[in-house]
């Protein structure tokens, strides 16, 4: 009887995803161990005493195992049913942070749970937002081509992001942008993605190029477009097109000449501007920054110039790994603690140093297979709730991996977001575990139609 019961529980579970998940958690513990290993104090017991980060991570993964088991045993109808309620609960949690929050590393986004453990609601809220978005988009009478439903969907995704920004967790807030990938899949006009990418390209170009050169180039592009469409504009008298090109040109030049410098100098903190500049290989002059000048006026001394020390050290650590790497526990940069925050945001560096290009490639391949497997799972769902939810999981994972790895290899500004399943941290690990196992649960019941 019990045998038959177990069989029914595990029936339909996608074991490939489970194995990929397990291997990533294992790699994570290994990496944290590499970062913290010190031959002087190391003993076999230190794995279980809960004093070191890797033993804590082992403990977290144990908790995650329990959570995963519960989710696998649960009824998949639960999730669409409670989606909206959970979302409200998540928002309440995030709001409560403003009252009882604890300040860790400058971001007031943690709820102390006692015993040295803290919960970050913004992290957890990603699941609730994913569920709520799936619920909304899978409604029977849903017509996602309508502007109203698009706006509501965006609002569901962006509300937690807003709260997160208010808690000074910009990195986590950015993670909510990944929901746009889901919405695109479900019918959000492609033009929005194109505009988004174009905007990003324009900002990067602004940082890289001399502003007059860029303005000239933009003008030439506009002129070229007018020339290309001259027949439509001047012969067929479609003046609207001309106005469109002109206004786009105007907005672009405005962004490039005024908006970007203004935001960098007056909205961003000095270190933020500096990080973004350094990601494109430039130096930002903090004496132009409003916040830096204000701080200077208060403290009376020039603020210490933030430098790209962590990215530089991160690149050195990864770069010195070479093709085959230096070997397990032989990474000099890791042993010397040259990379700051190496057990959390910069965990990838320890792997890159110890196992080189080969190791990094295999590691990224695991992520890549996981992502494609989730997309594959999404496309085979009969119920749109499951499909949208699967895309949410894929998008969030993708966003985290991309931003985190790009940050460590110097392709993206430093943003404090963890590498899923690998970085040290209970909140993050638990969130991604719940997220993935809800998907596995839903996928196991893919024959059912969930509303």
The answer to whether residue 186 forms part of the interface with other proteins (CB under 8 A) is: yes
Site string for other proteins, 264-303 (x = CB under 8 A): ----------------------------------------
Which positions ≥6 away from 290 have C-beta within 8 Å? Answer: 265, 266
Pair of tokens at residue 285? 């002059």
Q: Cα 339 to the chain's mean position, in Å?
A: 21
**Total count of residues recorded for the chain:** 451
Helices 426-444 and 121-137 meet at what angle, rounded to 10? Answer: 20
Stretch that binds other proteins, among 44-52, 99-107, 290-298, 397-405 (CB under 8 A): 397-405
Contact residue for other proteins among 361, 380, 382, 451 (CB under 8 A): 361
Q: Which of 23/320 has CB closer to other proteins?
A: 320
Q: What is the four-CA torsion angle of 373, 377, 379, 382, rounded to 10 degrees?
A: 180
Contact residue for other proteins among 320, 366, 373, 444 (CB under 8 A): 320
Contact residue for other proteins among 234, 294, 336, 382 (CB under 8 A): 336
Contact residue for other proteins among 137, 158, 317, 450 (CB under 8 A): 317
Contact residue for other proteins among 68, 225, 303, 405 (CB under 8 A): 405
Are the beta carbons of 419 and 50 closer than 8 angstroms? Answer: no
The answer to whether residue 192 forms part of the interface with other proteins (CB under 8 A) is: no
The answer to whether residue 437 forms part of the interface with other proteins (CB under 8 A) is: no
Secondary structure of residue 202 in the 3-state scheme: helix
The answer to whether residue 48 forms part of the interface with other proteins (CB under 8 A) is: no
The answer to whether residue 185 forms part of the interface with other proteins (CB under 8 A) is: yes
Secondary structure of residue 111 in the 3-state scheme: strand
The answer to whether residue 373 forms part of the interface with other proteins (CB under 8 A) is: no
Stretch that binds other proteins, among 46-54, 162-170, 241-249, 317-325 (CB under 8 A): 317-325
The answer to whether residue 390 forms part of the interface with other proteins (CB under 8 A) is: no
Residue corresponding to tokens 């560096």: 349
Question: Which phi-psi region, left, alpha or beta, contains residue 239 (left: φ > 0; alpha: ψ -120 to 50)?
Answer: alpha
The answer to whether residue 335 forms part of the interface with other proteins (CB under 8 A) is: yes
DSSP labels for 369-405?
HHHHHHHHHHHT-SSHHHHHHHHHHHHHHHHHHHHHH
Taking Cα atoms as reference points, which of 446, 434, 444 lies closest to residue 385?
446
Secondary structure of residue 168 in the 3-state scheme: coil
Tell me whether strands 102-104 and 117-119 are parallel, antiparallel or unpaired: unpaired
Stretch that binds other proteins, among 59-67, 212-220, 226-234, 331-339 (CB under 8 A): 331-339
Cα distances (Å, whole numbers) of residue 20 to 192, 420, 446? 33, 12, 20
Contact residue for other proteins among 360, 383, 427, 428 (CB under 8 A): 360
Report the interface residues with other proteins, using CB under 8 A: 38-40, 181, 184-187, 190, 313, 315-323, 330, 332-333, 335-338, 352, 356-357, 360-361, 364, 368, 371-372, 375, 378-379, 391, 394, 398, 402, 405-406, 409-411
């Amino acid at each position: 009887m019990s045998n038959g019961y177990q069989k029914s529980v595990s029936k339909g579970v996608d074991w490939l995803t489970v194995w990929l998940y397990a291997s990533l958690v294992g790699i994570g513990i290994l990496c944290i161990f590499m970062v913290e290993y010190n031959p002087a104090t190391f003993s076999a017991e230190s794995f279980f005493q809960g004093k070191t980060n890797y033993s804590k991570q082992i403990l977290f993964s144990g908790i995650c195992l329990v959570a995963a088991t519960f989710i696998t045993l649960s009824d998949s109808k639960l999730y669409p049913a409670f989606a909206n309620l959970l979302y409200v609960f998540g928002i309440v949690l995030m709001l409560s942070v403003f009252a009882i929050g604890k300040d860790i590393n400058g971001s007031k986004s943690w709820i102390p749970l006692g015993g040295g453990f803290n919960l970050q609601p913004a992290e957890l809220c990603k699941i609730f937002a994913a569920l709520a978005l799936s619920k909304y988009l899978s409604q029977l009478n849903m017509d996602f081509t309508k502007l109203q439903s698009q706006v509501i969907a965006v609002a569901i995704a962006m509300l937690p992001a807003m709260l997160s920004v208010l808690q000074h967790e910009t990195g986590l807030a950015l993670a909510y942008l990944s929901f746009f990938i889901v919405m695109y899949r479900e019918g959000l006009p492609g033009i929005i993605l194109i505009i988004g990418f174009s905007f990003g390209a324009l900002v990067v170009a602004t940082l890289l190029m001399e502003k007059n050169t860029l303005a000239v180039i933009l003008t030439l592009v506009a002129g070229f477009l007018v020339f290309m469409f001259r027949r439509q504009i001047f012969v067929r008298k479609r003046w609207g097109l001309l106005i469109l090109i002109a206004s786009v040109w105007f907005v672009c030049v405005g962004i490039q000449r005024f908006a970007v410098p203004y935001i960098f100098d007056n909205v961003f903190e000095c270190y933020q501007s500096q990080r973004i500049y350094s990601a494109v290989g430039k130096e930002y002059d903090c004496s132009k920054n409003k916040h830096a000048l204000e701080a200077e006026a208060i403290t009376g001394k020039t603020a210490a110039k933030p430098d790209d020390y962590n990215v530089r050290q991160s690149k050195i650590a990864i770069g010195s790994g070479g093709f085959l790497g230096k070997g397990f526990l032989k990474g000099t940069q890791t042993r010397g603690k040259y990379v700051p925050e190496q057990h959390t945001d910069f965990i990838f560096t320890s792997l890159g140093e110890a196992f080189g290009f080969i190791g990094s490639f295999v590691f990224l391949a695991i992520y890549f297979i996981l992502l494609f497997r989730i997309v594959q799972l999404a496309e085979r769902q009969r119920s749109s709730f499951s499909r949208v939810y699967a895309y949410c999981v894929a998008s969030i994972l993708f966003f985290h991996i991309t931003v985190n790895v790009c940050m460590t290899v110097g392709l993206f500004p430093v943003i404090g977001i963890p590498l899923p399943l690998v970085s040290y941290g209970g909140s993050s690990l638990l969130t991604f575990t719940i997220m993935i196992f809800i998907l596995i649960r839903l996928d196991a019941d893919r024959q059912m139609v969930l509303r």
